[in-house]
Each structure stands twice: as C-alpha cells, then as structure tokens.
A and B are shown apart, each in its own frame.
Chain A
Amino acid sequence: MLLATTTHYADWIVFLLAAVIAVAGSIGVVTSRHPVHSVLFLIQTLFGVAILFVAQGAHFLAAVQVIVYAGAIVVLFLFVIMLLGVDRAEARAADPFRGQRPLALLVGVIGLAEFGLLLRSTTWSTGAKSVAGPLSGPGSNVEKLGRSLFTTYLLPFEVTSALLVIAVVAAVILTKRPPPGEPGGDAENLDTVDAVEPVPAPSPTADDVKV
C-alpha cells in the first residue's frame, strides 16, 4: 500500500516537472529575441516531451525524440543559423500589420478555450477494436512498435523511405548554386537593392536526418 502511494506521487512529480520544462521551453522559443536562444529552448521542450513519452511507456519514441529531434533536427537548425549569420536580434518594432499581435493572442486564447471545452468530453472513441494491436500485454514497447510498423504499417513504412530520399534530393537541389549566367543564378538578382554578397555555398546536407 505504501509502495503504491509512493509510486503514485512519483508519477505526479515526474509529470509536473516534465510539463513545466516543456511549457517553459516553448514559451522561451516564442519570446526570446535571439534565434540561437530559441533553438536552445526548443531542445528543452523536446526533452520535456521525451520525459512525458517515457512516463507513458513510449520508450522507443522517447529515444527517437532525443536522438533524431534534439540530436539531428535541432543541430540542422543551428547549422543554418550559423551558416547564414542571422544570429542577431529581430527588430520587434517593425510590425507591418497593425493589430496582428493582439489578434494572434486572441486567437490563442480562443483556441485554448476550445481545447479546454473538448477536454471535458469523457468518451474518446467509438469503442471499436484496435486494428494495430494492444499496447498492454507481454513484450517490450520496442518489440510491439516494431511488430506494428513491419506488419500493419509496412506499406507506409516503405513509402517513408521514398519520402526521405526525395527530401535529400530536394535539399541538394535547393542549396545548389546555379552557374553564373544561367537563369536563377546569382548574377540576376530579383531585388538587388539591398542584396549583400552571397555567403559561400552552404551545404546543410540531409546526412544529419537519418531516421
């Protein structure tokens, strides 16, 4: 009995800590002026969400969250920020659409209220049987997720490989510098008034984003 209540409290403490970490990080992403600080806050949020994943038994997804998201995607963000030299504060005064920020906050409040109303619902599904298989039962989370991915979701899984290849090719083509003289080259800039010297061809290849 004592053990049961102790684990109960531990669950709540873990949940509250992770929730505070995640929400504080997300607020930091939105409010910090410096893109690099935003990236660091994003890492904080990702780790908080990873803890929430672990607390709910999604061990494999928590690992992927930390390795792929915090390890690769965020590094890609940092790479781009550093390569482009855009690590300077944003001019907040320039607000081309007057009243956009109050309107955005209003939209946020309304959206949150709607989520709150939805959360008052007590039934979440029609009660139909699971297609992919149960989450509880014997076997580890990784085993069950792998079985689901390679049986029920085999075709989508294979399609994701095509998607990743397309993304890699797209990244290479998008960041390739066209030879001078050709249309789309640097020689004919659209808006050359305040265009500065182009940075040396950066190549944020997609190697970082292996899944």
Chain B
Amino acid sequence: MAESGTHRANARSAAVSVPGAWYLSVAAVLFTIGAVGLLVRRNILIMFMCVELMLNAVNLTFVTFARMLDDIGGQSLVFFVMVVAAAEVVVGLGIIVAIFRRRADATADDFHILKG
C-alpha cells in the first residue's frame, strides 16, 4: 500500500496527471491489434508491420513503467528495443527481397517450399 503511494507521488512529481494505467491500456490494445493482424493477414510485409506495432506497444509500456516507478532504466531499455527493431527490419526485409526475387506474389503460405 505504501508502495503504490510512493509511486503515485512520483507520478505527480513528473507533472503528468493521466494515470499510468490508461497508457498501459492503450499499449495493451495496440499489442492485441498487432497480434491479431499478424495472425490474420497473409501478406508478409503487412505481417512485418504488425510486428512493429507490437514492438511499439511494448515500448509504450516500458516508458509508462519508467514513469510510474521513477526509473530511467525503462527508457534505456526502449532505446535498445529500437536498435534491435532497426536491425530486425533490415534483416527481415533483406530476406523478403531474396524470397520475392525467386517467387513474385509470395504470401506467408508460400514458405512451405522451405520444407526439406
């Protein structure tokens, strides 16, 4: 109980009046939409964008918790997530380009050619 009290005091010291739970709700909605999109869509590029959506939702969660717990570590972690996301996009798009060069109009289902 005392713990949540200090957290609330910290949140107030950061001069933000919207409670962190609201930001976490938005992040949860973004993550869910990204996950459903990843499962529903067949286009590889759009599936990739859905992964980016989920990464962004997690970043928002990190920033919100950094504020709620008054800890800069959350924001540092978001920086690393962004670097990893950049590397992931480069490699992923490279793979997509390599696949599309073999088969135009590829969807995620065409990867069954990877079976031995």
Contacts and interface: CB of A to CB of B under 8 A. Distances in A.
A-B complex is real = yes
Interface of A: 7-8, 11-12, 15, 19, 22-23, 26-27, 29-30, 35, 38-39, 42, 45-46, 49, 52-53, 55-58, 60-61, 64-65, 68-69, 72-73, 76-77, 80-81, 83-86, 90, 94, 96, 100-101, 103-105, 107-108, 111-112, 115-116, 119, 122-125, 127, 130-136, 141, 144-145, 148-149, 152-153, 156, 160, 163-164, 166-168, 170-171, 173-175, 177, 186, 189-191, 194-196, 198-199, 202, 204, 206, 209, 211
A107 B35 CA distance: 9
A77 B17 CA distance: 36
B20 to A, nearest CB: 8
Contact of A195 (B28, B75, B103): B103
Interface string B74-95: 0110111011111111110111
B3 A123 contact: yes
A145 B97 contact: no
Give the 8 A-B CB pairs with smallest separation, nearest first. A132-B73, A174-B94, A30-B37, A104-B39, A115-B28, A167-B87, A108-B36, A130-B71
B3 A132 contact: no
Contact of A22 (B30, B46, B50, B89): B30
